[in-house]
Chain A
Amino acid sequence: MARTNDEANVDLETTLKHLRLARRQLKNIDEDELDALPVEEQREWARSLQRLSVAITKLETADLQNLSDEFVAQEPQLRATATQLDDDLGQLADAVAMIHVASTALDTVTSIVTLLA
């Protein structure tokens, strides 16, 4: 059965949570304690930290890219709404302009009638 995006997101978030916790535990080892370890174990500590951090960064990037894709998918609609708002504003201005035109036309009619009288 195909998994939904939400399920995939939850899995990703849970995995990230576990990895972050593991990294924190690894980094909480005191420097003095690390110094006391044999060199090979210190190197293994460094390798583990490297693997965890790279995995966390990559997963965070993938997670954010998924979200960014969703933003991109909605962008045309958002652009269209902004354009419609500009049109709305234009229509409001048109309403006032029409009153001005009527007023000017009336003024012209009055002038003509005055001339003919």
Chain B
Amino acid sequence: MRGSHLVIKPVVIVSVCAICLGTLGCAGPTQTIRQGQDFCRAGIQYTEALDKLLDVTITTAIDYDSDELLRQRKRTDPNELQPFLQERDKALAELVTTLETFRHHGRRLRAYFVSLQTLANAKLQESAEAAVGSLSGNIAAANENLRESNRLKLSEEEQVYLGQLGRLVAKHIQAGALRRALRRDAAIIGEQLVLHERLIKKLRDVLMDRSLDEVDTLWRQKVKKPYVDTTQTIGEPWKQDRALWIRSSFYQEELTKATEAIHHMRFVWMGILQQEQNVESLQLALGDIGDFTETVHALHEAGKDKED
């Protein structure tokens, strides 16, 4: 059993490592891993923003409907009050139930990003360095014991070097796995992003409709009207109404946060996809989110104009 065992030359180890590095792609592994981490962070950030946005949308839709019912109450035929209320209750409950389903869809997307994050953040490099260091130590010990003439004897320095090389190889393996996963999932996540973009647009439409109306009414009835009517004394209630009117612009801030998250995610995602073919349609479908932010700003500015 002597002679043929454990004859490992340094050049063989280095060559194997070089082949691994060469075949795992040209893009820097650190860059790939960081790109994956950024993408995961953006994805998780987006799903959190979506959850808040759903909260705001549901609260706004309910409050708006209640305010409207209160306003029309005194002008409604008393015989119609109950049927009107029941009709509104049913329609609103269905809307809220439907909006709640999107929390589930958001959580499902979040689960993907969390798994991807686990892959991107895996501490493989330290483990690999320790394992390869241990392996090289054992190779040296085995050779020492076997007393082969053509044995490979590793010095301490060489063992440290091999450990570091192991870390480098592990980094490339991890980056390669991440890159393969991102490319493999490109179409599915791309479709998800398109659906989420459409969802955000619909939520924006609901919120815009309600908040535009609410903000207008609040300012006209509770802020401007009492202020210009010098025959009435105004004080703390008027200040509270005015503060409420200003605070209502926070809805738009929430919208902006959600938009920024998905906007950022789109850029990262497109960067990943640029190495793929046939992504033009996906890139087009992911476009135009920038308009969202501009519209929100326009609304905010419109609010300022009304104040003036």
Contacts and interface: CB of A to CB of B under 8 A. Distances in A.
Interface of A: 13, 16, 20, 23-24, 27-28, 30-31, 34, 42-43, 45-47, 49-50, 53-54, 56-58, 60-61, 63-65, 67-68, 70-72, 74-75, 77-79, 81-82, 84-86, 88-89, 91-93, 95-96, 99-100, 102-103, 106-107, 109-110, 113-114, 117
Contact of B119 (A77, A88, A102): A88
Interface stretch (B120-128, B249-257, B269-277): B120-128
A55 B99 CA distance: 17
Contacts of B212: 24
B145 A113 contact: yes
B94 interface: yes
A91 B205 contact: no
A68 B145 contact: no
Nearest to B147: A117
A106 B15 CA distance: 21
Contact of A110 (B111, B138, B191): B138
A42 to B, nearest CB: 4
B173 A99 contact: no
Interface string B117-146: 011001010011001101101110110011
Given A71-B105, A92-B124, A92-B174, A84 B181 contact: yes
Nearest to A45: B75
B94 A61 contact: yes
Contact of B88 (A53, A60, A103, A110): A53
A78 B47 CA distance: 15
A59 to B, nearest CB: 10
B142 A109 contact: yes
B17 to A, nearest CB: 13
